[in-house]
Amino acid sequence: MRPTLLVGSPGSGKTSLAREIGSALNLVTTVFPCASVADGSFGGTSAQWSTRRASTPLEAIRRSRTANPMIILDEIEKTGLSTTNGTLMNALLPMLERHTAETYFEIGIERNADLSWVGFLATANDLASVPAPLRDRFRIIQMPDPCPQHLGDLARRIVRDIAIENGTDPAWTAPLAADEMRVITKAWGGGSLRRLRLAVQATLDAREQHLRARMM
The one-digit pLDDT tens for each residue of the chain (216 residues) are 899 999 998 888 899 899 999 999 999 999 999 987 877 789 887 777 667 889 999 999 999 999 999 999 999 998 876 665 568 899 999 999 999 999 999 988 899 999 999 999 999 999 999 999 999 999 999 988 888 888 889 899 899 989 989 888 888 888 999 999 999 999 988 888 889 999 999 999 999 888 888 877
pLDDT at 81: 67
* 140 beta partners: 5
Q: Which of these, 124, 144, 155, lies nearest to 191 by C-alpha position? A: 144
The helix/strand/coil state of 74 is: strand
Give pLDDT, residue 97: 96
Strand partners, 49: none
Q: Are 45 and 97 in contact (CB under 8 A)?
A: no
pLDDT at 48: 72
Residue type, 176: L
Say how far apart CA 188 and CA 147 lie, in whole Å.
9
Q: Beta-carbon neighbour count of residue 209 at 10 Å?
A: 10
The pLDDT, as a whole number, for residue 70 is: 97
Cα–Cα distance between 149 and 67 in angstroms, integer? 40
Burial (CB < 10 A; 0-12, 13-18, 19+), residue 187, is middle
Per-residue model confidence (pLDDT) at position 101: 97
At 194, which helix (H) or strand (E)? helix 193-215
What is the pLDDT at residue 94? 96
Say what angle helices 151-165 and 193-215 make with each other, to 10 degrees.
Answer: 60
- The full set of domains in the chain, from first to last, is 4-142 (3.40.50.300), 148-215 (no CATH)
The C-alpha atoms of residue 9 and residue 133 are separated, in whole angstroms, by 22
